[in-house]
């Protein structure tokens, strides 16, 4: 069996050293981000194109075309139907491109608070349900503490000495760049 690659970029580097080809492939992939995500969703649900087509009451050919389409060729209707067949709800949104990562973190913390409040409201007056809600809230707190603790450990392990010895009041670093791994594309 040949070498396995974790992404298309890695595959392209092993197939072609020509920078022009690599740039062309990257540009092509940028035009098909939605289609690639649909393939990921289908595979994540362990379905073949044929099985998904049966769920969508369409042909396997339609699924193939959808999964090979450019982003500007995929309609909202296509996304809705694809999601329904996978028992997923479509959510769309916009955000300012200049939003800082720290603001995104705070946004999600407040969203978690909102979801927990909804859950508590749903359980009011029902002792059995409130016991379940309590478990969810406790579990969420535990996960949150674990995540923050892991990140604190990473920060401390990076370079304890340089953090302690830093006497500059201002530290300048390169700007953060959005990575596909962080945004889930």
* Residue with the larger pLDDT of the pair 119 and 174: 119
- Give yes or no for residue 136 having a pLDDT over 70: yes
> Residue 146 has what pLDDT?
96
- Work out the mean pLDDT of the chain and round it to a whole number: 84
Contact predicate 140/119, CB 8 Å: no
In this predicted structure, what is the pLDDT of residue 185? 37
Give the span between the Cα atoms of 74 and 80, in whole angstroms. 11
Question: Residue 71 — φ and ψ, nearest 5°?
Answer: -55, -40
% residues pLDDT > 70 (the chain): 82
Q: Which of 61-65, 76-80, 171-175 comes out lowest in average pLDDT? A: 171-175
Q: Where are the alpha helices (DSSP H) in 31-100?
A: 33-44, 49-56, 60-68, 76-85
Residue 178's pLDDT is what?
Answer: 43
pLDDT band per the 50, 70, 90 thresholds, residue 84: very high
> Does 95 or 148 have the greater pLDDT score?
148
pLDDT at site 157? 82
Calculate the dihedral angle through the C-alpha atoms of 48, 52, 58, 60, rounding to the nearest 10 degrees: -10
What number is the average pLDDT over the span 80-87? 96
* pTM check: above 0.85: no
Percent of all residues in the chain with a pLDDT value above 90, rounded to a whole number:
59
Q: What are the chain's domains?
A: 11-85 (1.10.260.40), 101-164 (no CATH)
Residue 2 has pLDDT above 70, yes or no: no
Q: How far apart are CA 35 and CA 78, in angstroms?
A: 11
What are 4-61's pLDDT values in tens digits? Answer: 767 766 777 777 778 888 788 888 888 999 999 999 999 999 999 999 999 999 999 9
**CB atoms < 10 A from the CB of 12, how many?**
19
Task: Check: CB of residue 66 under 8 Å from CB of residue 28.
Answer: no
According to the model, what pLDDT value does residue 159 have? 67
Q: Mean pLDDT lowest for which of 38-42, 160-164, 171-175?
A: 171-175
């Amino acid at each position: 069996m040949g070498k396995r690659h974790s992404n298309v970029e890695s595959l392209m580097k092993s197939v072609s050293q020509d920078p022009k080809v690599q740039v062309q492939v990257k540009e092509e992939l940028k035009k098909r981000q939605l289609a690639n995500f649909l393939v990921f969703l289908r595979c994540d649900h362990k379905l073949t194109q044929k099985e998904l087509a049966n769920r969508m009451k369409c042909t396997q050919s339609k699924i193939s075309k959808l999964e090979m389409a450019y982003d500007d060729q995929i309609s909202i209707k296509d996304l809705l139907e694809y999601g329904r067949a996978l028992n997923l709800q479509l959510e769309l949104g916009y955000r300012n491109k200049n939003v800082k990562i720290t603001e995104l973190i705070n946004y999600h913390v407040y969203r978690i608070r909102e979801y927990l409040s909804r859950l508590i409201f749903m359980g009011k007056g029902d002792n059995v349900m409130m016991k379940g809600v309590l478990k969810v809230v406790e579990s969420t707190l535990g996960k949150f503490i674990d995540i923050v603790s892991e990140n604190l450990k990473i920060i401390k392990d990076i370079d304890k000495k340089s953090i302690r010895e830093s006497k500059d009041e201002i530290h300048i670093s390169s700007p953060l760049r959005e990575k596909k791994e962080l945004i889930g594309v």
